[in-house]
Structure 1
């Protein structure tokens, strides 16, 4: 049975580290949630470590720069790990070839241009038109304000017929940018699989991003870790697959499902919704605080 809590401090002392999602938990894409920032600061003052674990398709320095611009203080976290970090490593290793068709916006150029030191001597990755590509790298739609996966049907059907693999740099399907909901690379990857194509994933809920976080935080097999997130199929499913506890933020992506008060989910609605999704996180809270 999922326990609804009022504050992170009720359970924080039971864990050595937090793997905390960003969008919908720490910020809304435009500004941070002050109560969430304060909760992470308090947890760190108590001796715990905080990994901000995001499915953002950009390498972590770009995520840190975004957090700085939003005004998220650096004493609220120890480490930032992004889906872009893990996916970038796979791309430079040649997972989808070295001539790739990139689906995404200019803001994701760092995924290609900021080459990790260990790959500086590797053959270059070149972005080319679809007709010349050996594989696909998806960081998000070209126009995230107006496009949906079906807008890519003809191009992705052609790619599937050629047997091209898609590297998905962000397994999220949608995120909320303020009051606006936009599609992510995960929606394109799922659509491509529905067409018969092959997609490779590296963010939550898939193992590489968790392995990277454990290694960089020097967390042993016996470390007590709590995953925090609002994505039932990414944050919560990923935690279950990794064998770690989870705190589900009900006031994020699925906020409308749990009653009119975002801060206080209705227990019966939460129970029914979780049963429908076949997930049972240890804890739930309206908003991180």
Structure 2
């Protein structure tokens, strides 16, 4: 738990702590699913928490609008009963892009992220004609690494273009494989002296929006000491919780392995959320 002036507690199960909180801000990728299959015990625990009057907001650094993530959850058979709402870094990114209304954007990322531009009056252009770079990830995160983008990032740096990073995550677990995310490219660009604006965790706008949605659901202000942030990212979930003055539950597996290692995250999730009948 991320509690001021207290030691870090090592938990074997979330059950004993559930009643301390009214709201869970729960990471999706790495906690609710691994990109290929859902974590049954985690979704069941979220549903049970809601049954007992709690609010669950899924908060994710996915660089796509909420509707796209909801569709993905349905495809992975994550029940609607597991959450009240979803906040994505893609939604926050769209807000940042409004500052470039009518201007030219170079999209650095896979085509599957193009819905982030839907309804925005922006011109997608080659780098030579761009006013800003929107980075949503690697073109092929199955085979590429940030080193493959050294030349492109140097070119962007020489043009002194600002970059919006739609997903601050550095890496993510997909099945048993660790792949790189937009945050890794943004980090490399920043090291070249580039100007990077980050949407999503660990930055405050995505937490402010999540707490706003939780307040709307309960029709009352939410006390931050009654909110628990759950995630598996030290530099995103844990740092974000600290910045937002929230307690945090750290799932210590998965993305903390090297890219060529396999993970026991699924077993850790099962154990952590095993006693869903906790209230």
- TM-score, length-scaled by structure 2: 0.87
Query: In structure 2, what is the Cα distance between the partners aligned to 1:220 and 1:285?
Result: 33
Query: In structure 2, what is the Cα distance between the partners aligned to 1:109 and 1:261?
Result: 33
- Shift of the 15–89 alpha-carbon distance from structure 1 to 2, 3 Å rule, reads same
- TM-score, length-scaled by structure 1: 0.84
Q: Would you say 1:6 and 2:6 are equivalent positions? A: no
Q: Helix, strand or coil for the counterpart of 2:254?
A: coil
Which residue, out of 84, 97, 101, partners 2:106?
Answer: 101
- Shift of the 25–263 alpha-carbon distance from structure 1 to 2, 3 Å rule, reads closer
| Corresponding residue of 1:162 | 159
Which residue, out of 207, 216, 238, partners 1:210?
Answer: 207
| Corresponding residue of 2:277 | none
Structure 1 residues 184-219: Cα deviation after superposition (integer angstroms, max 9, x where no partner): 100010000011111100100000100111112226
Query: In structure 1, what is the Cα distance between the partners aligned to 2:167 and 2:238?
Result: 16
Structure 2 runs not aligned, ≥5 long: 1-6, 275-279
- Shift of the 263–168 alpha-carbon distance from structure 1 to 2, 3 Å rule, reads closer
Q: 1:2: Cα distance to partner?
A: 1.8
Q: 1:163: Cα distance to partner?
A: 1.2
List structure 1 segments (4+ residues) > 3 angstroms apart after TM superposition: 260-265, 284-289
Q: Helix, strand or coil for the counterpart of 2:228?
A: strand
Structure 1 runs not aligned, ≥5 long: 266-283
Which residue, out of 240, 248, 252, partners 1:238?
Answer: 240
Alignment of 1:87-126 (within 5 A): 87-94=93-100, 98-113=103-118, 115=119, 124-126=121-123
Query: In structure 1, what is the Cα distance between the partners aligned to 2:205 and 2:15?
Result: 29
Q: Helix, strand or coil for the counterpart of 2:45?
A: helix
Aligned residues: 259
CA contact under 8 A between 1:248 and 1:285: conserved in structure 2? no
Structure 1 residues 2-58: Cα deviation after superposition (integer angstroms, max 9, x where no partner): 222233221111111000001111101011011111111111111100000000000
- Shift of the 255–249 alpha-carbon distance from structure 1 to 2, 3 Å rule, reads farther
Please give the root-mean-square deviation of Cα atoms over the aligned residues, in Å: 2.2
- Shift of the 263–81 alpha-carbon distance from structure 1 to 2, 3 Å rule, reads closer
